A and B are shown apart, each in its own frame.
Chain A
Amino acid sequence: MASLMKWLGEPASETQITHGGRLWLYLLAGLVMAFLLAPTIIVIPMSFSDSQYLEFPPRVWSLRWYDHYLGSPEWMQATFTSLKAGIFTMLVATPVGVMAAYGLFVSRMRIASLIFLILVMPIMVPVILVAIGVFYVYVQVSLVNSLLGLVLAHSILAIPLVVVVVSSALKSYDMNQEMAARSLGASRFRAFMVITLPQIRFSVITAALLSFLTSFDEVIVAMFVSGGENSTLTRNMFNALRDQIDPTIASISTIMIIVSTSLLVLAQVFGKSGDEP
C-alpha cells in the first residue's frame, strides 16, 4: 500500500507530472483496451454453451455448435471456398504487389506517384461500389459465382495493402546494399532476391497474411459475386446473421478468431527475428 502511494507520487513523464495526476488516463486507457478486447474474448467461451441462447458463462458446456458446424456440408463447403479464395488471393496479390512496390520505388518516373495512387485506389473507393461494379461486369463475362472471379476481385482489394506495406519497408531499407551487390557482380534481379528480399521479408510476410485475411474476411464483394457451391463462409454467416442469432456462428467465429490471432502471432514472430536480431 505504501509502495502504491509512493508510486502515485513519482514523476511519470518528462514534465514531472505524477502517476497520481494521471490516474484518470490509466483508468480510461484500461477501459478502452477492455472495450477493444472484450467482445472477441467473450465469444469464445460462449461458443461452448449447450444452450440455444448464447450464455456467459455457459451453464452447461458442450461442443454442440462445433458438431453442428463441422457436420454441415454447406458450412464445410463455404469454409473450403473461403480458404481457397484466401490462399489464391495471397498468391496473386503478394508477388504482383511486391513487384509494383519495387518498380515504383526504384523508378524515379514522374508518373510513379500517379500509378501509386491508382494502385491504392481500391481501399479508398467504398467497397459496395467495387462490389456492384464487379458484379455487373462479371454478369457479362459469366464470372459470377466462380472462384476465379472472386479471387480477382479480392486481389485488387489486397494489392493496395501489399503495395503500402512493402513500399514503407523499402523506404527504410538501405538501397545502397542492392547497389553494393550489383557492383560485386549480381544482376539486378539476383541482387533483389538475395539481398533485398531477405531484409524486407517481414513486411512481405505481413503483406501476404494481410492479403489472405482481406479475402478470408471479406463480406460485401463475396455477397454479390460468390454463390452456389462457391459461397464464402462470410457470405453465409452474414445471411445467417440477418435472420436470427444462430449459435453455430459463435463456433465459427471462435475458429476465425483463432486463425487471425495465430496469423498475427506469426507476423510478430517473423518480425522480431527479422528486424531485431
Chain B
Amino acid sequence: MSDLVLRSAGSLATQPNQTELKQDALRERFALFGLCSPALLLVLIIMVLPVGWLFWLSFLGEDGNFTLENYQRMVESKSYARIFRNTFEVSLLTTGICILIGYPLAYFLSQLPRRAANLCMITVLLPFWTSLLVRTYAWLVLLQRRGLINEWGMDIGLWDEPIKLVHNLTGTLIGMVHIMLPFLILPVYGSMKAIDRDYMKAAANLGASPAQAFWRVFFPLSLPGLFAGALIVFVLCLGFFVTPAVLGGGKVIMVSMRIATNIELFFNWGAASALGVVLLVLTLVILGIASRVLRFDQLLGGGHGS
C-alpha cells in the first residue's frame, strides 16, 4: 500500500523522459486514428447523418411541427400491422427453410475431402457473387405461368394445368431462400470445419452410435455458426426489398417496400421515416440481443468469408 502511495507521489515529480514519452504515445495514437478517419468520416456523413435526419423527420407532421402522428398511425392502422406481420412471417419462413436445407448441405460439404469440398463450394459461392437482381430475374423466368418449372411439372404429370408459382408468397420465398442460403451456409460450414474430428472418434470410442455422436457432440458444437448464420439471414430478410417487389407481385408487402412507396408515390417523408426508424430499431435490438450471446466479429466474419 505504502509502495503504491510512494509510486503515485513519484509520478508527480517528472521522471526521466516522462512528458516526452507521453507525447510520443499520443502522437502515435493520433496517427493510427488518422488512418481510420477517412472511412469513419465517409460513413458518418453519408450514412449516420442522413439516417439521423430521417429520425428527426419522423417526428415532424406535414405542417412542420413536432408530432407523434407518424408513429400513432402505425399503431392504429391495420394495413401497417399487416405489413409488419408480413415482414416477420416472410423473414421467419425464409430463415427456417434456409436452416432446414442449408444445414445438411453445410454438413455434407464439411465431411468432404478438401478438393471435393472446394469444388462443391462453387455452387454456394457462385450465386453469392452473382447479382441479386439477376437471380431474382432468373426465378421470375423459371416460375412464371409458362415457365420451365410449370412445363416440366406438367410434362411428368405432377400437375395438369399451370400452377401459380410466382407473384405470390411461394415465389417470394423461393427467391429469398435462394438468395439467403449462402449467408447461412458459409458461417455454418466455417464452424463445422473448426470442430476437431477427434471429438467424433472419442464419442464413437465411448460408445455413442453415429446418431448420438452427431446430436450430442457435433450438433451442439456447430450451433454458434448456425446461430450466426440464421441471425444474418433473418436480419437481412427484415430489410429486403428487391426480391419481394419482383416476385411478390404486390401480394407480399414488406416494410422496405412500403417505405419506398411512401417516398416515390406520396412524398410522405414523415411516414416513411417513422417506418424506417421502427425497422432500424427492430434490427438493432435483434442484433443487440444476439451480440450478448455471440461474439460480434464471429457474426460478421462468417458472412463474407469466401
What is A's interface to B at a CB cutoff of 8 Å? 12-17, 21, 25-26, 28-29, 32-33, 35-40, 42-43, 46, 53-54, 56, 92, 96-97, 99-100, 102-104, 106-107, 109, 115, 117-130, 132-137, 152-153, 155-156, 159-161, 163-165, 167-168, 206, 210, 213, 216-217, 219-220, 223-224, 234, 237-238, 241-242, 245, 249-250, 253, 256-257, 260-261, 263-264, 267
Q: Are A100 and B39 in contact (CB under 8 A)?
A: yes
A17-B131 CB under 8 A given contacts A100-B36, A129-B279, A153-B46: no
Rounded to whole Å, the gap between the CB of A49 and the closest CB of chain B is: 11
Chain B residues closer than 8 Å to A36, beta-carbon distance: 123-124, 126-127, 178, 181-182
Chain B proximity of A106: nearest CB distance (Å)? 6
- Check B29–A238 contact: CB distance below 8 A: no
Question: Is B73 engaged at the interface, CB distance under 8 Å to the other chain?
Answer: no
- Please give the distance in Å from A167's CB to the nearest CB on chain B: 8
Q: Are A107 and B304 in contact (CB under 8 A)?
A: no
Q: How far is the CB of B162 from chain A (nearest CB, A)?
A: 13
Contact of A29 among B42, B105, B130 (CB under 8 A): B105
A24 to chain B, nearest CB (A): 9
* Residues of B with C-beta under 8 A to A17: 210
Q: Which of B29, B126, B134, B142 contacts A264 (CB 8 A)?
A: B126
Provide the bound-state CA to CA distance between A170 and B107, in Å: 28
**Which B residues from 10 to 32 make CB contacts under 8 A with A?**
29, 32
Supplied contacts A109-B29, A124-B284, A261-B129, 7 more A-B pairs, CB within 8 Å: A25-B107, A37-B127, A39-B142, A96-B42, A99-B39, A115-B40, A238-B246
Chain B interface, >50% SS class: helix
- Tell me, in angstroms, the Cα distance from A128 to B264 when the chains sit together: 12
With both beta carbons as reference points, the residue of chain B lying nearest to A11 in the complex is identified as B210
B232 to chain A, nearest CB (A): 9
30 contacts between A and B (CB under 8 A): A15-B203, A29-B104, A33-B124, A35-B101, A36-B127, A36-B181, A37-B126, A39-B135, A43-B141, A56-B148, A100-B35, A107-B29, A122-B47, A125-B51, A126-B279, A127-B256, A128-B279, A129-B239, A129-B276, A130-B47, A132-B276, A133-B50, A133-B53, A152-B42, A164-B303, A219-B132, A219-B133, A234-B131, A241-B136, A264-B125
Give min CB distance, B124 to chain A, whole Å.
Answer: 6
Give every chain B residue within 8 A of A238 (Cβ-Cβ).
133, 242, 246
B134, A21: Cβ atoms closer than 8 Å? no
Over the window 35-78 of chain B, the binary record of Cβ atoms lying under 8 Å from chain A Cβ atoms (1 yes, 0 no) is 11011101110111111011001000000000000000000000
Is B293 among interface residues, defined by CB-CB distance under 8 A? no
Number of interface residues of B (CB under 8 A): 96
* Contact residue among A15, A26, A46, A217 (Cβ-Cβ distance under 8 Å from B133): A217
- For A100, list chain B residues within 8 Å (CB): 35-36, 38-40
Number of A-B contacts (CB under 8 A): 275
**Which residues on B sit within 8 Å (CB–CB) of A219?**
132-133, 241-242
Query: In B236-268, which residues have CB < 8 Å from any A CB?
Result: 238-239, 241-242, 245-246, 255-256, 259-260, 263
Q: Is the CB of B234 closer than 8 A to any CB of chain A?
A: no
Contacts A25-B104, A25-B108, A26-B108: A119 and B39 contacting too (C-beta < 8 A)?
yes
B120 at the interface (CB under 8 A from A): yes
Chain B: which residue is nearest A152 at the CB level? B46
In the complex, are the beta carbons of B239 and A250 less than 8 A apart? no
CA distance A198 to B96 in the complex (A): 42
Q: Is the CB of A134 within 8 A of B50?
A: yes
B153 at the interface (CB under 8 A from A): no
Which residues of chain B have C-beta atoms less than 8 A from A118's C-beta?
40, 43-44, 48
Q: Does B159 contact A (CB under 8 A)?
A: no
Given A32-B105, A99-B35, A119-B40, does the pair A16, B269 have CB atoms closer than 8 Å? no
B197 contacts chain A at the CB level, 8 A cutoff: yes
Sort A-B residue pairs by CB-CB distance and give the 3 closest, nearest first.
Answer: A126-B239, A133-B50, A103-B35
Chain A residues positioned under 8 Å from B51 (CB to CB): 125, 129-130, 133
Residue of B nearest to A104 (CB): B36
Known: A21-B210, A46-B141, A219-B132. A125 touches B280 (CB 8 A): yes
The residue on A at minimum CB distance from B44 is A118
Q: Are A28 and B130 in contact (CB under 8 A)?
A: no
Partner pick for B210 among A13, A106, A126, A260, CB 8 A cutoff: A13
- Tell me which residues across on chain A come within 8 A of B93, comparing CB atoms: none
